[in-house]
Homo-oligomer: A and B are copies of this chain.
Amino acid sequence: MRAFASDNYSGVHPLIMQEIINVNSDDMSSYGNDPVSEAALELFSKHFGSDAKIFFMATGTATNTLILKHITNSWNSVICADTAHINVDECGAVEAIAGIKIIHAEAVHGKLNVESIAPLLAGRKDVHQSQPAVISIAQNTELGTVYTLAETKAICDYAHEQGLLVHMDGARLANAAIRLGASFKEMTVDCGVDVLSFGGTKNGCMCAEAAIFINPEIGKNFEFVRKQGMQLISKMRYVGAQFKALLTDELWKKNATKANELATILAHKVQEISEVKITHPVETNAVFVTVPPHVIPQLQEKFPFYVWDESASEVRWMTSWATTEEDVENFVSSLKDLI
């Protein structure tokens, strides 16, 4: 099967699988007290600084939810875009597990800005209202768009002025980095991001996410939250192995570059088709388009993908590290045939 549904339809990159196999010998300490996990943490430190507190996790939903739980009190709220994964794709985990309220600012192409955030701070100090404590932005966004370094910095500066923290949902951080031509450090630490959900799974891993407290003070005691939050994998070496491979020889960069390039190619090809309209800037590995409704089911049969907004006949096509140029050609050719 070749799919344009999500980058999580892809398998595990061969170099990552090889590292998993490499560490499969002998007994090793569990729960992350093993040399493989330690080596992976070391590699992370090169990107995020040696002060950062880093915790490996099994799912992105857990990473977002438990970070937000840890850096808030029950009477706090988190500000995000209405399209944010934490708002619409985590089955209420933030509310149920973290116990906090989500309030959303208007967003353009999935991106917040200071103007859209500011009005949400009006009720501060009023005991009847949940108190905003965190701004959560996704980089790249759920619509495939990317905050520029200046945009990220502006939000962080405003947040800090107002006594808020900034969380970045980086489930696809690598794809955003490629688009920006920036290092992980430049797009997070240097902009003032306080805490990051770092995604490995969608970029070629099997099951590897990380909570990265760039601001180490707010990461204190997160080890208890991870355990209680049911995310302390016992045979952690296998998560460590995935990150070790991903962060070695810039594999993360190669994988994300390929995914982004193929989305760009796909976007270029479909732009020529007058019945197809791109609905959001194609900046990473997602292409959002409206297509004639009748082609959707037939095209999905050959190449699975998601309908984004049924009423608008809007669909999402995603590429991954595993997508090939041939896949894109076949896909576009089928699309053209159906139209």
Tell me which residues across on chain B come within 8 A of A234, comparing CB atoms: 6, 8, 59-60, 201-202, 207
Chain B residue nearest in CB terms to A35: B1
CA distance A232 to B23 in the complex (A): 25
Q: How far is the CB of A56 from chain B (nearest CB, A)?
A: 12
Q: How far is the CB of A61 from chain B (nearest CB, A)?
A: 5
Indicate if A37 sits at the interface (CB-CB under 8 A).
no
Q: How far is the CB of A240 from chain B (nearest CB, A)?
A: 12
Indicate if A116 sits at the interface (CB-CB under 8 A).
no
Chain B residue nearest in CB terms to A21: B17
Tell me which residues across on chain B come within 8 A of A128, comparing CB atoms: 88-91, 227
> Contact at B232–A59, with CB atoms within 8 Å?
yes
> Contact at A235–B221, with CB atoms within 8 Å?
no
Tell me which residues across on chain B come within 8 A of A75, comparing CB atoms: 91-92, 96, 221, 224-225, 227-228
Indicate if A19 sits at the interface (CB-CB under 8 A).
no
Given the known inter-chain contacts A207-B58, A230-B59, please indicate yes or no for A95 contacting B100, CB distance below 8 A. yes
Chain A 33-66 near chain B by CB (<8 Å), digits 1 or 0: 0000000000000000000000000111110011
> Contact at A230–B231, with CB atoms within 8 Å?
yes
Tell me which residues across on chain B come within 8 A of A130, comparing CB atoms: 91-92, 95, 228
Indicate if A245 sits at the interface (CB-CB under 8 A).
no
Q: Given known contacts A11-B235, A58-B231, what 12 new A-B pairs fall within 8 Å (CB)?
A: A1-B27, A5-B29, A5-B30, A11-B24, A21-B21, A88-B129, A89-B128, A92-B99, A95-B99, A127-B227, A127-B232, A206-B238
